[in-house]
Amino acid sequence: MILRVLLLLTLFPLSAVSAPLPIPDQGPALRIQGSNTIGAALGPALVKGLMEQQGLQGVHAEPAEGANEQRVIGKTRQGKTLTIEVDAHGSSTGFAALHKASADLAAASRPIKDSELVDLEPLGDLKSPEAEQVIAIDGLAIILNPRNPLNTLNTEQLAQIFNGEISTWEALGGIGGAIHLYARDDRSGTYDTFKDLVLSRRGKPLAASAKRFEASEQLSDAVSQDPQGIGFIGLPYVRQAKAVAIVDGDSQPMLPLNSLIATEDYPLSRRLFFYLPPTSHNPWAKALVDFTQSSKGQAIVAANGFIAQRVQAISVEPRPSMPEDYQAIAREAQRLTVNFRFEEGSASLDNKARQDVQRVVAYIKGHGKLDKQVTLVGFGDIKNDPERAALLSKLRAMAVRRELVKSGVVLRDIRGFGAQMPVAANTADEGRIKNRRVEVWVY
């Protein structure tokens, strides 16, 4: 038990939040702006957790002046009031607020864009590991009215539906007449993600007929009350609607299940971020980032319906469509709920993968699997030469091996399966990046 506590403290350093933080004489201690997906409930819940850990009393959230704006308020034992503001008008507004110095921390449900990086260059490199913090994994659910009989759609169909090319349910083999489209607004990171993963990949704009919403809950409720409706939404906001299984390219149909989203195999999975400017001197901003990555913070992530970055071992049922060697691994071992992914066009681990190395090491040490109990399985995108694809997939697994060896892990095996078992279409950069992955299996 003591060992596990020490491992958690190593993995999730809490020094920044264990010491009392300063209470400003006036104004908010922290201003967060950006994603509605984060800001509607998760952001305020994380803020409340941090404030309670700091010993503040009577911590509660209340509406602020505008729609989708909240204040989280608490009092010190001496009766001094502390306020943290959370405004949730869409991911792009968070980066704009950093630029205008009207926010200390940006919440985003998609990665920062190159143009935003340039605009915010005076604040430091927001793509650095310290600045770009993955706080949770989410899946975009495609939702229908519960009475709609359709259960599966592919990403090509989704693009045609939301572009208006497919306009009736009968064209999809269903019933119900005209399709009614529901979408988030232009400032939403949810919309940006859907646009990137589905529409832009095929050069299609969103149909002008789509009804647009700033709030996720309102969109979901509208679809659940419309027998002809279809929409896209973050995982916690499915509510009374029905989620369908999604196929991308040659992937298997996948429902937005926790295990498939945790590994980011689900075609419409996405990362949720906090962006902390490297030049920031706000102690509450750094403390909130550290608290969010701690075991307590990730428990709050899970309690709010998102996928926490906790490493667990899951059994995988061997299927005939899997390579025989892969089936053999699945019969003997369990897969960890993390995939290592790489910077675009390289074999360098991305920011989340760097954090995941420490999480995986903590799991391996905590479960006594340091000595030849771990196999790494690499995959890649399709190449003209299958042997080259297999080699590259193994090289990526070896890149992960180098990081694990530094922490004393002795591997059992390293396997490369090339372009087999894709989880996304290889026809676009986003799909190829998802297919370039390394899985971790433990015996």
What pLDDT score was predicted for residue 15?
39
Q: Are 402 and 347 in contact (CB under 8 A)?
A: no
pTM of structure: 0.83
What pLDDT score was predicted for residue 4?
42
- pLDDT above 60 for 14: no
What pLDDT score was predicted for residue 337?
95
Query: Tell me: the pLDDT tens digits for 299-351?
Result: 999 999 899 999 999 999 999 999 999 999 999 999 999 999 877 656 788 89
- pLDDT above 80 for 19: no
What pLDDT score was predicted for residue 6?
39
- pLDDT above 60 for 5: no
Residues 6+ apart with CB under 8 A from 426: 249, 381, 382, 419, 432, 435
What is the rounded distance in angstroms from the CA atom of residue 213 to the CA atom of residue 194? 14
Topology of domain 138-262, per CATH?
Answer: D-Maltodextrin-Binding Protein; domain 2 (3.40.190)
- pLDDT above 80 for 25: yes
What pLDDT score was predicted for residue 193?
87
What is the rounded distance in angstroms from the CA atom of residue 142 to the CA atom of residue 194? 10
What pLDDT score was predicted for residue 80?
95
Whose CA is closest to 377, among 343, 408, 332, 345?
332
**What percent of the chain is modeled with pLDDT above 70?**
93
What pLDDT score was predicted for residue 84?
98
In order of 117, 208, 258, 336, the CA distances from 438 in angstroms are: 28, 40, 19, 11
The Cβ of residue 220 has, within 10 Å, a number of other Cβ atoms equal to 24
Query: Tell me: the pLDDT tens digits for 362-408?
Result: 999 999 999 999 999 998 877 666 777 778 888 889 999 999 999 99
* Phi/psi at 82 (5° precision): -125, 135
Query: Tell me: the pLDDT tens digits for 76-92?
Result: 999 999 999 999 999 99
Q: Are 384 and 365 in contact (CB under 8 A)?
A: no
- pLDDT above 50 for 12: no
- pLDDT above 70 for 2: no
What pLDDT score was predicted for residue 435?
84
- Tell me whether strands 57-63 and 132-144 are parallel, antiparallel or unpaired: unpaired
Q: Structure tokens of 347?
A: 């074999």
> What's the CA dihedral at 425, 427, 428, 429 to 10 degrees?
80
Whose CA is closest to 116, among 334, 277, 266?
277
Confidence of residue 434 (pLDDT cuts 50, 70, 90): confident
* Phi/psi at 108 (5° precision): -140, 140
Same fold, 138-262 and 311-442: no
Confidence of residue 17 (pLDDT cuts 50, 70, 90): very low
What pLDDT score was predicted for residue 430?
64
Confidence of residue 7 (pLDDT cuts 50, 70, 90): very low
What pLDDT score was predicted for residue 16?
41
Burial class (CB within 10 angstroms; exposed 0-12, middle 13-18, buried 19+) of 85: buried
> What's the CA dihedral at 283, 286, 289, 294 to 10 degrees?
-80
What is the rounded distance in angstroms from the CA atom of residue 229 to the CA atom of residue 145? 6
What pLDDT score was predicted for residue 383?
63
Q: How far is CA 143 from the centre of its chain?
A: 19
Where in the chain are the domains?
A: 2-135+272-303, 138-262, 311-442
What is the rounded distance in angstroms from the CA atom of residue 173 to the CA atom of residue 153? 11
- pLDDT above 90 for 23: yes
What pLDDT score was predicted for residue 425?
77
CATH architecture of the domain with range 2-135+272-303: 3-Layer(aba) Sandwich (3.40)
* Mean of pLDDT over the chain: 91
Mean local confidence (pLDDT), 132-158:
96
Query: Tell me: the pLDDT tens digits for 246-285?
Result: 999 888 899 999 889 999 999 999 999 999 999 999 999 9
Q: Give the residue, 382 or 7, on which the prediction is more confident.
A: 382
DSSP state of 144: E
- Tell me whether strands 242-243 and 132-144 are parallel, antiparallel or unpaired: antiparallel
User: CATH assignment of 311-442?
Assistant: 3.30.1330.60
Mean local confidence (pLDDT), 123-146:
96
The H or E element spanning position 212 is strand 211-213
What pLDDT score was predicted for residue 86?
98
